[in-house]
A and B are shown apart, each in its own frame.
Chain A
Amino acid sequence: MKIISEITYFAPTTIEEAVELLQKHPENSCLLAGGTDVVPALKKQVEKPRVIIDLKKISGRIRNIELKTIENIESIESIERIESIESKNQQELFIGTLVTFCDLLDSALIRENYPLIWEMSKVVASVGIRNRATIVGNICSAVPCMDSGPVLLTYDAKVQTNKRIIPIENFWIGPRQNCLSIDEIVLGITIISTSPKSHVSAGRFVKLMRYRGEDLAQASIAILINSFESAATATAEVKIAFGAVAPVPIRAYAIEKIISKQINQWDEWNEWDQMMEEALATIPDIIAPISDLRASAEYRLHMVGVMFKRGLKDAILRLQGNGSKYGSSLI
């Protein structure tokens, strides 16, 4: 399957250079990181000439980026390198644009502190793709069945570009559409923990596939529970997001509300069934699954319920220290 478009290839060494190239070729340029989405797209279609801007030769600290922060966060300038995963004070995580799913899996930092990212990365395609595919590329392609979306939603991740910082929830505007402007480049994803330092968290990522091997998600769910020890009582917050069952990955605020009410003092399972009933009833209003050749809308809807039920239970058990190992299969 030959690529028949004329391709002009650039490998800028700085972000500024890359931005200039984007500005110079507003019509037909395309940023390249891992290439696992871009190259198949080049093969499948497009006869028009393309300008490919490869970001992989950009390295070192990113300088001179004027960040028009839309939220007041601590300066991130000191940590960012687009090829690295870095953390600061165990409060901030930065995943650079060139970080692959393999890098995430190999990172002790991710495995220990952001286990949902680890658990999700483990079911992205297979090794040969994970060695190349980047999580930023994954969100930029904005395919509704992307694996990283739900997890990043539960971590309240933010997308840092050369121009601004965008809450992940606002990043996608439709299937295969992100909100980036023509000359905007994602530098990385940040996760800022706003919670007290003493919190414990656990979660569950579940991906429904046609079989156990490499497959795109028929549906996916991420559940994150943060539990805080305060002087008086323990409190907890639950974050839940779905993938592949709506035009873009979505947070399930309605369910979060129902669960959070009861999860604060979770030591009894006797109200489980009632809580589930209430939560499951809201799902049809949250998601909008379609029927395609990977699954019917009915099956997706049904399985989102099953995954939610099992996922939440496992997440709670993980929080309590009796759950399954991260990376184990649940369906």
Chain B
Amino acid sequence: MEFSFIGKSHLRVDGKEKITGSAKFVDDLDFGANLLYAEIVESPHAHALIVDIDISTALASPGVIKVITGKDFPYRFGLYMQDRYIFACERVRFVGEQVAAVIARDPVSAKRAAKLVRVKYQPLPAILNVEDALAAETTLLHPELENYQHVPWFFPAAGTNIAHLRKIRKHDAIDAIDAIDDTDAMFADADLVLEDRYTVPRYAHCAIECHGAIGLYDHAKRLTIWSASQSPHTQRNLFAQALAPLGLTHKDVRVIAPCVGGGFGGKAGVSMEILAAALATTVPGRPVKILWSRAQEFYNTYQRPGVVATIKMGVKRDGTITALEQNLYWDSGAYVEYGSNVVNAAGLSATGPYRIEKVKINSYAIYTNLPPGGPYRGFGYSEFIFGLESHINEVAKRLQIDPILLRKRNAIREGDQLAYGAKMNTNGLIEAIEKVEQEMDKMDKMDKIRPHSHPHSLSQSSNRCYGKGFALFWKAPAMPPNASSSAIIKFNEDASINILVSAVELGQGFFTVMAQIAAEVLQISMDKIRVETPDTDRNPYEWQTVASHITWSTGNAVFKAATDIRDQIFTLISREFQKDVKDVSDLYLFEESVRSHSNPHFKVAYQDFVISGISMPDGTFRGGPLLGRGSFMPEFSTAISDPETGQGGKPNVHYTVGASAAMIEIDKESGKITIPKVVLAIDCGKAINPQLVQGQVYGGMLQGLATVLYENMHFDESGRQLNANFTDYKIPTTLDIPEEIVAIIVESAQKDGPFGARGMGEHTMIPAAPIIANAVEDALGIRIRSMPITAEKIVAALKHNLNRDLGPEPYEPYEPYPRTEPRPLSEEALAAPIISGQ
């Protein structure tokens, strides 16, 4: 089908405002001289009871208006599980947690006074890794866990630090599901069983804009929050719920999200914004602003959780995967109100894009005294894919099968049964694999002709080696089953339109995509479309801008709204021009006018009626301002399933799949990796804007490469983050990009997506870690099982000649710096890889 706007790389509709600095971010908004500023008093302890808070000195400090503590807001809140307070009450659970706030006339006074709040703590043992959290004699972080409210698909274990356990048990012979817990039986028919352990540390989103929010509670008791948020409606909902004891209802709460300077999941849900909401209620009539510093951005928003994964895979000689057992131990941090859904999502999908007969997955959300783990681009998939895709290469090596062939043999296809029993959607996985393979063939040539990157005089070829790595990836939106979107389209006099939606333009380009969808349906040029940032009072409902679901879900809503307006136009025109046209089906839209198939001369321009109405010969008008509405909810989705097996539900609406590969060059002396080429092919159903898809590949891939090459979080033994700054938490610069990134678009239409589109924004970072890990193994014969794979780690591994062959000992992560990465879980997990079968 030929489209006018879909599939075209239109320039971003918000390009000009960004390139000129006109885009207004939350800290760019002015609130006048009455604006107050809040500064947070933070916990210096990872785990402690709050004995006493003395605010008197701070309150007497110049410029101070109020000092607020947990006692003022003893209300629990949370997205999926209400496990936290607005300010810590009675107990602090991570270093940096908010204990009190000072509101003052200016930020300097607030900051000075915050240092004068005296808090007396009684320290408790801090749990800084999952092993300690699971130990028999551990300290409970949340003794009241069993009383917490949560969504019905979470399963907390009272009396432990396990906030949620997602279990999946699958056996293609349905009756045999119960037998899956007998692990030996599960692997009985495999020719080879390989077991291993992979670890992934915590990571930070590092949007360049820090979190910020301004709250205003006016004297009429209406609460308005301006926030740098991916989730304005979800915030409204949670603010209204949490502050309901003050008499607030949803209609009294309004959330306005201006341009957002990057999110990557970090600005989803509710984190520090609730402070602005709560504090505003204490100073009626005066706006109060709270901005996170870069340091707070690191340790007091969500972090990407760390994970320890044990994988056991059984295969036939021909490479068919027969069974997979995975235990994912997530370091979910002090509060898991959002983060346990990461655990849930990963548990559901930890098979990766493979058809596997017998599956046993346990995904544990584990409380630790580190900052709250939460959503981060990839939502748990990047983490388990590192281990899974590394492991598949190890299996292939032992079977002496080409790792790509092994993947092809087991690649999931449409209609295959997923681990939780539902069926896999249409997908172009095989096409993606083949296209990446073709690009890899070109890499082989590069390998031969590539000039040395070092001065010729120093090029000792023995120092340098090349490797190629390949991996598959997939991801489904992780959403409650009723996550929905809605849209309103309204015409203006000149036939330009405003699209009102409440998704957030974080940079991903959704404004442009929504404009293209409406332009296609209504045949309006792109420069006549404005999409605006959300305001929960004015714009219709959107669940959250997360899960890569906006193009699909909000896109569907916009498509419906545009179709709604189109249908109204057809009805009106066919009614008022009965002499000229046959009926509704005779009409079509073209170049901002209504045309007729049967009457080539018929043309009514939008601007002649969309607001003014159709002018009739008798001087009357017909019609009226046109308004389209559309809403979308995936009505087929359910999260309810058997808690013991995970079978029976349809928790995921669809998966987006793809394949990726990298070619790397390693300097064996320094351990430094350079990347001549990366390829990523993704099936986005339909690329509504190919250049924006490409942009997601460039951005996501680099973000992923950084997690595997150098990004890392360091905590000291008291649980304090040592590198809460860009000086020591290194995010890539222009000098750190691969020499070439090839983005390949595969289009296997998503039947329920707008023009066949499905999401792809998060996915582009998911395969980055295993393609590098596999390329390192290809180059050096060394399997590194802990991220990041730093230069230092490579040198250490080479030096100790670790795991050069299929030798029995797993490579122990080289930990040059004392840190609190999870230690070995158990004797079994530590055991050497098992090669069984014949």
Contact yes or no, B458 A299, CB < 8 A: no
Contact yes or no, B667 A4, CB < 8 A: no
Contact yes or no, A306 B728, CB < 8 A: no
Q: Which of A67-75, A146-154, A279-287, A321-329 contacts B (4 or more CB under 8 A)?
A: A321-329
CB-CB contacts below 8 Å: B559-585 with A:
none
Contact yes or no, A291 B669, CB < 8 A: no
Q: Answer whether residue B796 sits at the interface, using C-beta atoms and an 8 A cutoff.
A: yes
Q: In the complex, how many angstroms separate the beta carbon of B294 from the nearest chain A beta carbon?
A: 7
Contact yes or no, A213 B115, CB < 8 A: no
* A-contact bits for B669-695, CB 8 A (1 contact / 0 none): 110100000000000000000000000
* A-contact bits for B530-550, CB 8 A (1 contact / 0 none): 000000000000000000000
* A-contact bits for B107-136, CB 8 A (1 contact / 0 none): 110011001000000000000000000000
Q: Which of A52-60, A104-112, A309-317 contacts B (4 or more CB under 8 A)?
A: A309-317
Please, which residues of chain B bring their CB within 8 A of the CB of A213?
730, 732-736
Contact yes or no, A1 B457, CB < 8 A: no
Number of interface residues of B (CB under 8 A): 37
Please, which residues of chain B bring their CB within 8 A of the CB of A329?
454
Contact yes or no, A4 B669, CB < 8 A: no
* B-contact bits for A185-203, CB 8 A (1 contact / 0 none): 0000000000000000000
* Contact flag A306-B294 (CB < 8 Å), given A2-B111, A213-B734, A291-B816: no
Please, which residues of chain A bring their CB within 8 A of the CB of B790?
210
Contact yes or no, B111 A4, CB < 8 A: yes
CB-CB contacts below 8 Å: A287-331 with B:
291-296, 298-299, 302-303, 306, 310, 313-314, 317, 322-325, 328-331
Which of chain A's residues has its CB closest to B113's CB?
Answer: A4
Give the CA-CA distance A331 to B670 in the complex, in Å: 7
Which of chain A's residues has its CB closest to B669's CB?
Answer: A306
Q: In the complex, how many angstroms separate the beta carbon of A28 from the nearest chain B beta carbon?
A: 17
The residue among B112, B295, B457, B734 with the most chain A CB atoms within 10 A of its own CB is B457
Contact yes or no, A324 B730, CB < 8 A: no
Give the CA-CA distance A264 to B669 in the complex, in Å: 28
Give the CA-CA distance A213 to B730 in the complex, in Å: 9
* Contact flag A298-B108 (CB < 8 Å), given A210-B730, A212-B736, A303-B670: no
Contact yes or no, B293 A1, CB < 8 A: yes
Please, which residues of chain B bring their CB within 8 A of the CB of A208?
670
CB contact between A212 and one of B115, B293, B733, B799 (< 8 Å): that residue = B733
Q: In the complex, how many angstroms separate the beta carbon of B422 from the nearest chain A beta carbon?
A: 42
CB contact between A331 and one of B293, B667, B799 (< 8 Å): that residue = B667
* B-contact bits for A5-41, CB 8 A (1 contact / 0 none): 0000000000000000000000000000000000000
Please, which residues of chain A bring their CB within 8 A of the CB of B728?
293-294
Contact yes or no, A295 B816, CB < 8 A: yes
Please, which residues of chain A bring their CB within 8 A of the CB of B107?
2
Contact yes or no, B816 A298, CB < 8 A: yes
Q: In the complex, how many angstroms separate the beta carbon of B837 from the nearest chain A beta carbon?
A: 39
Give the CA-CA distance A36 to B562 in the complex, in Å: 54
CB contact between B723 and one of A215, A293, A330 (< 8 Å): that residue = A293
* New A-B pairs, 13, CB < 8 Å, besides A2-B107, A296-B817: A1-B293, A47-B115, A126-B733, A211-B732, A212-B735, A213-B735, A295-B792, A296-B816, A314-B455, A314-B457, A314-B458, A323-B455, A323-B457
Q: Give 9 nearest A-B pairs by CB, closest first.
A: A213-B733, A296-B816, A324-B455, A212-B735, A299-B792, A293-B714, A306-B669, A213-B735, A331-B670
* 25 A-B pairs (CB sep. < 8 Å): A1-B294, A2-B111, A4-B111, A47-B115, A126-B733, A210-B710, A210-B790, A211-B732, A211-B735, A212-B736, A213-B730, A213-B736, A291-B817, A293-B723, A294-B728, A295-B816, A299-B791, A299-B795, A303-B670, A306-B670, A310-B458, A314-B455, A317-B457, A322-B457, A331-B672
